[in-house]
Structure 1
Amino acid sequence: MTDLLMTPQLVQLAQACGVATHYWGQSGEQIEIAAETLHAVLGSLGHDTSSPAALSASLEHVRTCDWRRMLPAFTVGVQGQDRRLWVHVTHGDPVNVWIEAEDGFRTDLAQMAYWVEPVEIDGVLIGEASFTISGDLPIGYYTVHAISGARTSTAAMAMTPARLHSEAITGNRQWGFMEQLYATRSRDSWGLGDLHDCASVATWSAKELGAGFLLINPLHAAAPTKPMAPSPYLPVSRRFSNPMYLRIEDIPEFTEAKNKTRKRIEKLAKPLREMNTSTDLLDRDAVWASKRVALEMLFSEGLTKKRAHLFAQYCQGEGQGLVNFAVWSTLCDVYGSNGDTWPSMYQSSSSSAVQQFAGEHQMQVQFHMWMQFVFDEQLATTQSSAKVAGMAIGIMHDLAVGVHPQGSDAWSLRSVLAQNIGVGAPPDMYNQLGQNWHQPPWHPVALAEAGYLPYRDLLRTVMRHAGGLRIDHVLGLFRMWWVPSGMQANMGTFVRFDFEAMIGLLVLEAQRAGVVVIGEDLGTVEPWVQEVLRDRGILGTSVLWFENGDGGEVLAPEHWRHEVLASVTVHDLPPTAGFLRDEHVRIRHELGLLARPVEDERADAQAQREAWACILRERGWLAIDGEATIDAELDAMAVALHRALGSSPARLLGISLPDVMGDRRAQNQPGTDQEYPNWRVPMTDATGQVTLIEDLQARTAEVRVFVDALK
């Protein structure tokens, strides 16, 4: 390895690959990226930087790689805009180009007058011909064909909507609750909230309170073995789901099961239901252990002919991706979820040994596929229930940033993921040491070479039974903070993606599914990024505590953006009752996460609270009561903050479900793993008593105070 110096060649290679050599911090200062980081990131992209000669060769490869291709790896068009398509052939040779639609319809492309100097590649002069892709083409996927003499090539293409249109948000402004589903339990839950509970909250909030949507945490798959990772944002697969959220009694096979089997299942459920009234931390392992036994009982009794047919149809539609997930899950059953400890012959999803393993464990593989099938059915029922209850949007799902480095997606999609990299975020006000989520990012070039198919499959699956989709850290579709393995989170750098492809495909799939898309665009954001999202019909995110002016002052709600989902708080902060009592400062101080004195943090929190109290009083939303206790004042302020939220021009408004009950405990503290009980806190009220869905329903009048505050 050459000395890790910031040489001109290293900078040129980084820039050519979309790797940032500096970035602007939250305070506006320019921060230079270390040469060590650039070497590691470029290495993960497949470039040799071990010597000056290797750097030169890598740079030459990047500069000439397109000239060695006949067609671009992937082309994205936007309706209403003609696009130039380049085709590389031997200079002077004729070439014919056409595109084929999904239904087989062929359209010949016309060559356009666009001169590009030919380039010599390996002693051959290569010319660039240009063709016009009409912006009048229907949205959808196409195959581009090119033929020049004996040489032929094909590549994938998409025509995307210029803007995502959704009937659900074209009329009146919609509001909805935001919940962590696992923490939102009913008397019939098996110790954790499930899809039946989700439908119950959606139905109640729509019929009784007029809610238009219900935003829930990601339902992505976790490893099927103990211990089950608590974070819904560190899944083993984003495409497939976590059967822990299944309501066992709602599965058709339960209805068809023998009476003896149903009694055994009821026996499994009883001790878990007793956990519903406990304030103890949520126990995923206990819940999953019993649910898995129940699911195995039902599957072992077999499927009716009709059910078997539906199952086969589902499997056919999901294709090899479902098989890969089920095989990985079965490997976990046998060898544990740490893939590094598996026999080497199972490290590659495409190996013959893996195929042999799948054949030897066929029923177990089928079992994991069946669980995804019944999950898909319950998802559909949940969305249908929400719509029938009157919701304009329905269930709004959440898409995590990435996946566990040893999970199913990382195993089966290894060829399109960057290795030895974890994504995260640079230092900011609330996470002053930066964040590393330890999730492998898409490899920008490899993903394009694959026609973005894994990304398209992911979007299509998560949108299938959704009314809305929140994209966590939507900036990751533009650039991501890459942290090389072994380095601290603040030692990363940004790597750019082809955002026209990533955003275009998102809009295309959302338009086809009829889904509203919300991009979580908090944090360090380049202004043009929010403009792109707005222009393409993707809503942004506004959180009251983060809405500040250019000088850092609190921004009054009438100055917030219009095309957003706005809320007072978010899942990475304590509920409003806790935030007003400085829970966010206390937790970070006790865990050693502050980069400055705790007194300064408390002073800033008090200043922010007082600034908001001033705005609320000026507008008559918060009365001054000299005899009120501090707790009473803060509780009144929590409601008043929702009045401020309602006065904003935001298109969608979200109310955190724990807020309406006065819950104070944070669900998640970024920058921690075992130091804080992330994603394991049951929902309680202001007194610390467990709050079940039945309690919410019984206290609808209290809940309505927050809802009415939005009006």
Structure 2
Amino acid sequence: MDATLLSELIAFNGIETQFNDAWGNATEVAAADQLALLAAMGYPVADETATRQELLQRQLDFWQQVIAPVSVQDVGDSWQLEIQVPLALANLTFTLSLKTESGEEQQWQLVPVEGELTQVAVLDGEEYHQYQHQFDLSLPAGYHQLTFTLLDTELSVSQQLIITPGRCFQPTAFERQKQWGSAIQLYALRSARNWGIGDFTDLKTLIRYLAKHGADFIGLNPIHALYPAMPDNASPYSPSSRRWLNIIYLDVTALPGYVECATLQQQVQSVDFMAKLQAQRAADWVDYAAVMALKLPVLKQLYQWFVVNAAAPLQQDFARFKQQGGDSLQQLALYDALHSFLYQQDSQYWGWPNWPEQYRDIDSAAVQQFAAEHSSELDFYCYLQFMAQQQLAEAQQLAKDSGMLLGLYRDLAVGVSEASTEIWANPELYCRDASVGAPPDPLGPAGQNWGLPPMKPYQLYQQAYQPLIDLFRSNMQHAGALRIDHVMALLRLWWVPKTAANAGGGAYVYYPIMDLLGILALESQRQQAVIIGEDLGTVPDGIRELLQQFAIYSYRVFFFETAPDGGYISPAHYPEQAMATLSTHDLPTLIGFWHCDDLKLGQQLGLYRDEAVLQQLFGQRHVNKQRILDSLHGHNRLPQEYPRSVDHLAMDRTLNYALQQHLAAGSHQLLCLQIEDWLEMTQPVNVPGTSNEYPNWRRKLSAELEQWTENTAISSLLHSLTELRKAH
């Protein structure tokens, strides 16, 4: 392809061809990978003439918009409007109407050419001018509507004008004390009462316990909606919809009618049902299919009870919930009902890309006919979301009532799976010929391909950012904080074309970060939710500073916080605007790290095919352990008589707790620890780079809530964490 054309394509589509990798090395994207990515974006790269024409059409699509569909600006004493018109229209008079979010209205008469000329483009023989007009009018933060109309014609276009506060929410209490809490995988909670998987009532039990011991938050794994028809598709980071909840977390016994329904009580108290229930409680790994097989039939009976017997106020709340949920809720319900219907017929129908042709378009006559004929089943899936939202809201209210400053913090996954409701309902927004991933970095030396189709930046812009507004808003519901997985996605995402041989054969595609940060700040302030950005991996220069400017909390993992000499940075030197943690769901537990269980497991699973590389990792781990031990002794976190050499030193409770207390004494505002380390567990939650090789997202905690919450050693540890947070 002509170099000039390729350069123009790269610039127009926001593709980065040169970047610094996770080790700081300058890296260039191969020309073949650039072309593969352009092909994934829909350009016919094998035909240069056709590619030029496609680029021209996309450029015209941009320039022929008189005003942009959306504009994001900071709150202040003025705001701007950019108008772009063919030169022939530049001297005509337009009417500009403003309707604020509160309903106030104002109008102006504008002539485009009277503004400041900012850009000129000549496309297909037509000259286009862009003018900027300044309005000395202070608008409050919020979502306002502009309508731009050519006098005496039908030419009328609208813009969503988003005025943002510029900074995310921060509680005033942050100025007085530092907080700590725990991150949990909700499904992993064991109890004597649940149905084989942690649920919202288990979460309440944990809230009471941690609040009593001084914790200010509990971090949840993504609890996004997955696939009721295929419950074994259990990765919380490959959801069907990020706006709605995973109904498997419902506590069935807490739903209306559970106690009152005599037929149901007879069923769940039968010998056969109790045996199945006990088997799931006793299992060390969550069997999602078996749990759903227990829950779903009972939930259907409870829905029928609800329809007939629920009190009028609750029925009215449900009707209001459905109205507020709008199209998005109905789309999820329709997907779940249709998926169940088709999957029961044939297990090859794993998702909408593989459904019979007539069902692949959500607006098709066949889909609409199915919806009409199965309205009760759609209503059932809406009811499950209604009850899940209620139980989550109750948990958050309990946390606040128990004295937690933040309560729950939720986790927003970076994308959805290709078979998701989100893509089925809005296919234009996603690039299905590429996947989100990561270039080689310490977590994935060969790069990572997450199998999640990325949003198209321009389509997101054309949709006035509404999909992201809805995502931010819904995930801040019933939460005091939101952790954004892979927060770099607000700036750029690593796109891997489906044709690429490996995850390294991709490139970064840029997103309008200032717009997205502005929207995030607005929703954060409105929902009063603290924002935590998972800023690991390859982070460009200046981005952490930008996130800090927007009051987004950095995510600092102890094992990654090393100085140039290889030693571990003291937590006393961590940035205050940060959440610190010892480990994550993608890393080994403390004992697993110390005993190199992650490296041994990776060897068993075939992740390390080069023996020399593996031995180098073992050697580096030994060095790192010694540096950690030296640091703990240097900060007087270990008794004087404790060993000072890691040779033949196993991880014991003294060392385990010392590490947690070491981090608790740091300068960071938020400290997040894992229950697995309190329970001295060894098995990891997830092994990156695996799918079926390891049972990811299934491992339960090693003890029931009723047992370990009575453990005096753990209670003593938590008391020390609270005291250390107060003191520092």
Letter in 2 for 1:537: A
How far did 1:170 drift?
4.1
Q: For residues 510-525 of structure 1, what are the structure 2 equivalents within 5 Å?
A: 510-525=524-539
1:166 equivalent to 2:170? Answer: yes
How far did 1:393 drift?
0.2
2:690 corresponds in structure 1 to 672
1:705 equivalent to 2:723? Answer: no
Query: Is contact 2:80-2:133 (8 Å) kept?
Result: yes
Task: Name the SS of the counterpart of 1:597 in structure 2.
Answer: helix
Letter in 2 for 1:385: L
How far did 1:217 drift?
0.6
Query: Quick check: 650-659 or 479-488, which moved more?
Result: 479-488
Q: 2:706 aligns with which of 677, 694, 697?
A: 694
Question: Hey, what's the Cα distance between the residues in 2 that align with 1:82 and 1:425?
Answer: 40
How far did 1:282 drift?
1.5
Query: Is contact 2:558-2:581 (8 Å) kept?
Result: yes
2:286 corresponds in structure 1 to 282
1:561 corresponds in structure 2 to 575
How far did 1:277 drift?
5.6
1:320 equivalent to 2:351? Answer: no
Task: Name the SS of the counterpart of 2:321 in structure 1.
Answer: helix
Letter in 1 for 2:257: E
Q: 1:153 aligns with which of 142, 150, 157?
A: 157
2:405 corresponds in structure 1 to 392
Task: Name the SS of the counterpart of 2:451 in structure 1.
Answer: coil
Query: Would the alpha carbon gap of residues 554 and 108 (structure 1) be closer, same or farther in structure 2, given more than 3 Å must change?
Result: farther
1:473 equivalent to 2:473? Answer: no
1:358 corresponds in structure 2 to 371
Q: How many correspondences in the alignment?
A: 699
2:38 corresponds in structure 1 to 42
Letter in 2 for 1:193: G
Question: Hey, what's the Cα distance between the residues in 2 that align with 1:563 and 1:135?
Answer: 34
How far did 1:45 drift?
2.9
1:56 equivalent to 2:61? Answer: no
The alignment's TM-score, normalised by the length of structure 2, stands at 0.91
Q: 2:429 aligns with which of 416, 424, 428?
A: 416
Question: Hey, what's the Cα distance between the residues in 2 that align with 1:526 and 1:627?
Answer: 40
Query: Is contact 2:196-2:283 (8 Å) kept?
Result: no
How far did 1:577 drift?
1.5
Query: Is contact 1:91-1:126 (8 Å) kept?
Result: no
How far did 1:118 drift?
4.8
Question: Hey, what's the Cα distance between the residues in 1 that align with 2:13 and 2:548?
Answer: 27
| TM-align CA RMSD | 2.3
1:97 corresponds in structure 2 to 96
Question: Hey, what's the Cα distance between the residues in 2 that align with 1:435 and 1:134?
Answer: 48
Query: Is contact 2:33-2:506 (8 Å) kept?
Result: yes
Letter in 2 for 1:183: A
Q: 1:348 aligns with which of 361, 375, 389?
A: 361
Task: Name the SS of the counterpart of 1:419 in structure 2.
Answer: coil
Letter in 2 for 1:650: H
Q: 1:186 aligns with which of 191, 196, 203?
A: 191
Task: Name the SS of the counterpart of 2:71 in structure 1.
Answer: strand
Q: For residues 41-440 of structure 1, what are the structure 2 equivalents within 5 Å?
A: 41-80=37-76, 82-89=78-85, 90-108=89-107, 113-116=115-118, 118-132=120-134, 136-149=138-151, 150=153, 151-167=155-171, 169-207=174-212, 209-255=213-259, 257-267=260-270, 270-271=274-275, 273-275=277-279, 278=282, 280-303=284-307, 304=310, 305-336=312-343, 337-440=350-453
Query: Is contact 1:272-1:287 (8 Å) kept?
Result: no
Query: Would the alpha carbon gap of residues 407 and 627 (structure 1) be closer, same or farther in structure 2, given more than 3 Å must change?
Result: closer
Letter in 2 for 1:105: E
For residues 97-139 of structure 1, give each alpha carbon's deviation from its aligned partner in whole angstroms, at most 9, with x where no partner exists.
2321223212446977523365445555433332225683211
Letter in 2 for 1:200: T
Query: Would the alpha carbon gap of residues 657 and 354 (structure 1) be closer, same or farther in structure 2, given more than 3 Å must change?
Result: same
Unaligned stretches of 5+ residues in structure 1? 685-690
Query: Quick check: 363-372 or 576-585, which moved more?
Result: 576-585
How far did 1:709 drift?
4.6
Task: Name the SS of the counterpart of 1:490 in structure 2.
Answer: coil
Question: Hey, what's the Cα distance between the residues in 1 that align with 2:239 and 2:377?
Answer: 21
Query: Is contact 1:109-1:133 (8 Å) kept?
Result: no
Letter in 1 for 2:27: I
Query: Would the alpha carbon gap of residues 79 and 344 (structure 1) be closer, same or farther in structure 2, given more than 3 Å must change?
Result: same
Query: Quick check: 547-556 or 69-78, which moved more?
Result: 547-556
Query: Is contact 2:78-2:139 (8 Å) kept?
Result: no
Query: Would the alpha carbon gap of residues 555 and 355 (structure 1) be closer, same or farther in structure 2, given more than 3 Å must change?
Result: same
Question: Hey, what's the Cα distance between the residues in 2 that align with 1:442 and 1:84?
Answer: 27
The alignment's TM-score, normalised by the length of structure 1, stands at 0.93
Question: Hey, what's the Cα distance between the residues in 1 that align with 2:64 and 2:555?
Answer: 42
Query: Quick check: 226-235 or 552-561, which moved more?
Result: 552-561
Letter in 1 for 2:319: A
Query: Would the alpha carbon gap of residues 316 and 266 (structure 1) be closer, same or farther in structure 2, given more than 3 Å must change?
Result: farther
Task: Name the SS of the counterpart of 2:408 in structure 1.
Answer: strand
Question: Hey, what's the Cα distance between the residues in 2 that align with 1:120 and 1:340?
Answer: 40
Query: Is contact 2:685-2:697 (8 Å) kept?
Result: yes
How far did 1:279 drift?
5.2
Unaligned stretches of 5+ residues in structure 2? 344-349
Query: Is contact 1:468-1:516 (8 Å) kept?
Result: yes
Question: Hey, what's the Cα distance between the residues in 2 that align with 1:705 and 1:452?
Answer: 45
1:494 equivalent to 2:493? Answer: no
How far did 1:254 drift?
2.2
1:452 equivalent to 2:452? Answer: no
How far did 1:616 drift?
0.9
Question: Hey, what's the Cα distance between the residues in 2 that align with 1:100 and 1:274?
Answer: 59
